[in-house]
Chain A
């Protein structure tokens, strides 16, 4: 019997290990990182981290987590298996969000209080350059073809286009008020940018860096000013895009071919950031006011679970 139980345990362990996936959520008010098993729908543990953790990125080899601890003015390097703190990266003041370049060697960090973008060499743990940008830089994205780094300035209302070779700003696009997040399509031809205050999603053509389409959102029973788009992600096939609508408590599903809103999925309160599962069959949302994450089944496009994780869930990544 004992032997049988052992076998069963091993079996169970192996089967979960095979499909294992871990979701990491930064908890801005708890100064902690929530570790979630999204398949079981369980909060596994909460790991204490520096002050006011917000932006979170997984290294390209899936080994490390980079987490901005804004009030410590630093980026923590965390072992994604053991959650041990491995070290720190220089980040400039008040780091909020950041993006990795395709090679996974450079990190581009927006320093909200200092109106600059910091370029960090991860291996050398060195600040390579700071680039002056507009007031309150927030969303950062690197094009998959590695031509562009873009940065959205919330109060200047601009997208700054930084050439990856020279690391200089070569152009600026005025966008709708308080741009929050930016995401390139996988083919690097479009940049999707959300405006929190105008309530819009703007599609920019990378070729001419101009807005080619503006998508407005309408949710019955909600006045337009409650619709405040923040996080945006587009799938690899450019079939669907998803936009978190903040206090509208919904994720908009957008047909990335026709650029029309297909439907709205009700999630937790003040939904901000989004992340795909590695196989892109699920979407995870952080809901800052209801202190939970929502798990969306993307095949059916339905919310399957919401899970309490801690206070002010902010950033989210999934690790295979």
Chain B
């Protein structure tokens, strides 16, 4: 292996070095001092209506994870003579995302952490100027992006809805809770989640014995006690599967159903990439470091942003490069293995850019299980038992373009 103390340090004048970096000449700096510029791109969001006093609205989800990872990268960088920079762009609520993104590209940023909704992500990913950059999606769960959009320039950190539903289905199969009553919220996202649930049900031999849409025609808090029993009456089922991504009614289902049944899905037992109750595999360490920095628990977006910036760090350290092509090549190589505090090496699926990762099944204050569950086998990698496998995606061309 390489010994960094032996490498000569190039004495580039700062300006020349900056110019070279912007032009993408990373090769010149090989094994010498290297600056790695990463951008974090998001738009400020309107404050949603408060659902509960328990969970205050968190405005800095995502960026805190990126900042922690930059610190970790730079701790490593002091030994490898690499310096990582994070350029943060917060587009105002009424600002133009496209214009701001174009400016980012003109400024020469090639490695961009993106915290936008799926429609906005689609818009920037298809821009011809964005073809040569590498985008790290830390916010969407969109199945369509992973299954058929086939953007070769996007890596998806969060588990897709399909991965989450599969994780729940594996656990339900293990428990033999096969008859599902599906409750769907009125939003488009809720329908997408429900579609993922139906796909998983089919995949794992579950039966959806009933399906109902929840309508917000009244104040749920006031009438849940009387309404939920009626809503769930007359159906024989094992678990109530709720699709309520915004969390508008799902919390009110537990303990109020006609029959004594458990709630899973977006509330009750949830499938998530990160949870404050997670402490195995060294997770306590990052939970502590994060809390010390941010003054709050780590959220899913923070974890995804952390992994995105750490992916870049790992690739830059090993390949001595700072340009998107070399980083991308290393990330998709068989040498890449990211440690993500979940006991297994994390890698990216070459066919759709989805990060392979264990999915936590969490109750509000404990981790119930971690998917893939023992016994769910896969010829290549057990993590591929979650979400869209290679044969289920239309993105074969993506892999070609990677090779």
Contact = CB atoms under 8 A, between A and B. Distances in A.
A260 interface: no
B106 interface: no
Given A134-B79, A177-B337, A210 B343 contact: no
Given A136-B282, A136-B285, A175-B1, A156 B338 contact: no
Among B282, B288, B317, max chain A CB count under 10 A is at B282
B345 interface: yes
B343 A228 contact: yes
Interface in A188-226: 196-198, 208-211, 223, 225
Given A136-B285, A174-B317, A178-B339, A158 B76 contact: yes
A210 B1 CA distance: 5
Nearest to A212: B1
B382 interface: yes
A15 interface: no
A172 B5 CA distance: 7
Contacts, number: 81
B contacts with A: majority SS? helix
B339 A154 contact: yes
Interface string B75-87: 1101110000000
Given A136-B282, A154-B282, A175-B1, A197 B75 contact: no
A281 interface: no
B282 A172 contact: no
A197 B317 CA distance: 17
A259 to B, nearest CB: 17
3 A-B pairs with the lowest CB-CB distances in the bound complex, closest first: A156-B76, A178-B339, A172-B79
Interface residues of B, number: 28
B173 to A, nearest CB: 19
9 contacts: A132-B78, A136-B282, A154-B339, A155-B339, A160-B79, A172-B3, A210-B3, A223-B382, A225-B383
A113 B339 contact: no
Nearest to A136: B285
A156 B316 CA distance: 12
A197 B285 contact: no
Contacts of A94: 288
Interface of B: 1-5, 72, 75-76, 78-80, 282, 285, 288-289, 310, 314, 317-318, 337-339, 343-345, 381-383
Contacts of A210: 1, 3
A135 interface: yes
Interface in A122-175: 132, 134-136, 153-158, 160, 169-175
A266 B4 CA distance: 40
B358 to A, nearest CB: 10
B345 A198 contact: yes
A269 interface: no
Given A208-B3, A211-B1, A225-B383, 15 more contacts: A113-B289, A136-B282, A156-B75, A156-B76, A157-B76, A158-B79, A169-B79, A172-B80, A174-B1, A174-B80, A197-B344, A197-B345, A210-B1, A223-B381, A225-B344
A175 B337 CA distance: 12
A contacts with B: majority SS? loop
A6 B206 CA distance: 71
B285 A209 contact: no
Contacts of B314: 157, 177
Contacts of B78: 132
A115 interface: yes
Contacts of A196: 339
Contacts of B338: 177
A8 to B, nearest CB: 50
The bracket for how many chain A residues form the interface is 35 or more
A135 B76 contact: yes
Contacts of A157: 76, 314, 317, 339
B3 A209 contact: yes
B288 A113 contact: yes
A112 interface: yes
Nearest to A210: B1
Nearest to A158: B79
Contact of A197 (B76, B79, B337, B381): B337
A92 interface: no
Nearest to B358: A225
Contacts of B337: 176-177, 197-198
A170 B285 CA distance: 27
A156 B75 CA distance: 8
Nearest to A169: B79
B285 A113 contact: yes
Nearest to A138: B282
Contacts of A171: 3-5
Contacts of A172: 3-5, 79-80
A134 B72 CA distance: 8
Among A156, A158, A228, max chain B CB count under 10 A is at A156
A225 B382 contact: yes
Given A113-B285, A136-B285, A174-B318, A197 B339 contact: yes
Contacts of A155: 72, 76, 310, 339
Contacts of A132: 78
A51 to B, nearest CB: 13
Contacts of A175: 1
A268 interface: no
A146 B340 CA distance: 35
A61 to B, nearest CB: 34
B7 to A, nearest CB: 11
A64 to B, nearest CB: 28
Contacts of B318: 174
Among B3, B78, B80, max chain A CB count under 10 A is at B3
A174 B80 CA distance: 9
A223 B339 CA distance: 17
Nearest to A160: B79
A113 B282 CA distance: 11
B76 A134 contact: yes
